[in-house]
Amino acid sequence: MKRKKKGQLEIGFNWIYILIAGAVILMFFVGIVIKQKVVSEQKLSAEVLRSIEGIFTGAGLSEKTTGPVDIPELTMRFVCDDETGYSDYSVEGSGVRAETPWQPIFSPTKIKTKKLLTWTLEWKFPFQVSNYLFLSSPEIKYYIFSDEYLLPNLFNFEYNVITYDQVKYTDEEQIRLVFFGDLLNNGVLPFDHVLRDVPDEKVTAVLFRGEGVVFYEKQDDSFVQLGEEVPLIPSTMDENANLYAAIFSTDPDAYACNLKKGLKRLEILSKIYGKRIKAIQDDYFLIDSLSACAFMIDEDLFYGASLSLEDIAQRCQEDITNCVNIKGTADEIEGISSNFIANTACPVIY
């Protein structure tokens, strides 16, 4: 009898040991699998960022190019802090990021998509300063309340919008309204407009008012101003890259922060062009003091204008609100240049 009971007990304990050992081994392997999953996701994010970095570099060097970029479906975050000047982009939740300290990239703060849309446009002021890179996705819809400012066909937009009735919502990731002059209906959405029921973070707006840009976010049934008005830095080209930059940026701080990257380049280039023209005229004077090219422009006037441009660019970087009356100086330089372009034997100013 005792032997029988001992056997019964042993069998019971055996099963308990088997269960515990089995559970431990199973947990060990499950732990490895979970860890690997996390590592693989990070690896994927790093791979995506690596290939995007190459695409961004290439896109940033070519002018006026547009193109879609296929990526795995994920959410990208774009950060540019106006106070510190730090900027990067990352895959949300992965912890993997790539810094963009010098390249101006204008985009919504968050883009969730399988296809990034890119557009490069140069900012000329009056010489080529920088190539801006604009990013969006087919899931972001733009409603432009004007017939003058069109985006490339690649983007999902409607222009010449006149009333809120023309603004629809068909489950897009984001809706962006672009106003000129004034907010329609003071920024209040009509009663029972479809956008009232759309989550606030999905709807943003921007208003171009004279020489300034104002950013808005939706709060329930109306648009509320986000941050301070930012000066709209002009361009000497018909297409003002800074205007389009404000259409693509949803955050005023990020917009100002990226503008400052262009302004830094402007500061350096103004110095180089000013010194260059002086040196060229000095060389012509040494070769032939009577040469027309030795007197092609009033070098002091040009040099003075380029110094002013440099000074304004510096002050704008310290505080973007200092960027008023910047166009006058750029126009002066452009005027000096166009006045002597008729004499094709002399080198161009820029």
Partner 1 sequence: MKRAQVKMGETIAILFIFFVLILFGLIFYFQFQKSSFERQKVELFSEQSISKSLVASFLPELICSRNVAATVKNCIDLKKLEFASEEMKDNREYYFDIFGFAVITVEEIYPGNGTWVLYNQTPPEITREINTPIPVSLFNPVENTYSFGALNVEVYT
| Strand ranges in the chain using DSSP code E only, listed in sequence order | 66-80, 87-91, 97-99, 105-106, 110-124, 128-136, 140-144, 157-158, 174-180, 203-209, 212-219, 222-231
CB of 66 to partner 1, least distance (A): 18
- Asked if 139 contacts 113 with a C-beta cutoff of 8 angstroms, the reply is yes
Q: Which of residues 80-119 bind partner 1 (CB under 8 A)?
A: 101-102
Among 41, 53, 88, 173, binds partner 1 (CB under 8 A): 53
**Comparison of 283 and 311: residue with beta carbon closer to partner 1:** 283
Q: How far apart are CA 47 and CA 55, in angstroms?
A: 13
Q: How far apart are CA 244 and CA 123, in angstroms?
A: 11
Query: Taking the CB of residue 84, how many other CB atoms lie within 10 A of it?
Result: 8
Q: Binding to partner 1 by residue 347, rule CB under 8 A?
A: yes
Q: Which residues of 235-267 are buried (b: 16+ CB within 10 A; e: fewer)?
A: beeeebbbbbbbbbbbbbbbbbbbbbbbbbbbb
**Residues in contact with partner 1, shown as a per-residue x/- string from 113 to 152 under the rule CB under 8 A:** --------------xxxx----------------------
CA nearest to 88, candidates 114, 123, 61, 53: 53
Q: Which of residues 247-266 bind partner 1 (CB under 8 A)?
A: 264-265
**Could you tell me how many residues of this chain bind partner 1 (CB under 8 A)?**
31
Q: Binding to partner 1 by residue 209, rule CB under 8 A?
A: no
**Comparison of 231 and 274: residue with beta carbon closer to partner 1:** 274
For residue 114, report the phi and psi dihedrals to the nearest 5 degrees: -105, -5
Q: Binding to partner 1 by residue 26, rule CB under 8 A?
A: no
Q: Binding to partner 1 by residue 54, rule CB under 8 A?
A: yes
DSSP 297: S
CB of 235 to partner 1, least distance (A): 15
Among 283, 298, 318, 319, binds partner 1 (CB under 8 A): 283
Tokens found for residue 347: 């080198």
**Comparison of 253 and 310: residue with beta carbon closer to partner 1:** 310
Q: Binding to partner 1 by residue 269, rule CB under 8 A?
A: yes
Q: Binding to partner 1 by residue 279, rule CB under 8 A?
A: yes
Chain residues binding partner 1 by CB under 8 A are 50, 53-54, 57-58, 61, 101-102, 127-130, 264-265, 268-269, 271-273, 275-276, 279-280, 283-284, 287, 344, 347-350
